[in-house]
Amino acid sequence: MFVPQQLRRDFEKNRNKTSNPEVYHKILKSDFEDYGGFCELYVEAQNGIIETEQVMILNDFMEKYQHFIPEIRQFINLNLKPFEKLIKPIIDKAAFTIDVIDIPKNNSRYDVVMICGKTYRFLFWKKEIAIRVEFQDGSIQSMKRTDNPALEN
């Protein structure tokens, strides 16, 4: 479980170059060994302040995120491109990874963003299937396959 003081103390503080908030960042390993080996966690702050609500959302999400993985995997399978459907056995064997978890500050549309997906190899190609999942109030609000997961759904 995280507490605000721990986030400010143990996380690296970065200034977000594209917007006003500061961002606390840490690479988490132990919880994500089965999902790519690590995950980058970002928590937005303003004037060094991380809201207690953000920490509660983060802790709740960290307890429950694994329950969403079957639904996300199903979404990936249902959104394969025509060529990918032909090589579905290869994609099925590719590891599911969780790359980024972002806890924004004061966003009315979502309170957690998770960037996840699969990377597969076929002949000489290496291709990534990136999924941006937005959560609100402990449930999936939207999922989108995207080439740029930084953009909102």
Q: What is the pLDDT of residues 1-38, one digit of tens each?
A: 888 888 888 888 886 555 556 899 999 998 899 999 99
State the amino acid at position 133 in one-letter form: V
The residue behind tokens 């390993």 is 29
Q: Which candidate, 18, 23, 27, 20, places its Cα nearest to that of 8?
A: 23
Rounded to whole angstroms, the Cα distance separating 42 from 60 reads 15
pTM value > 0.75: yes
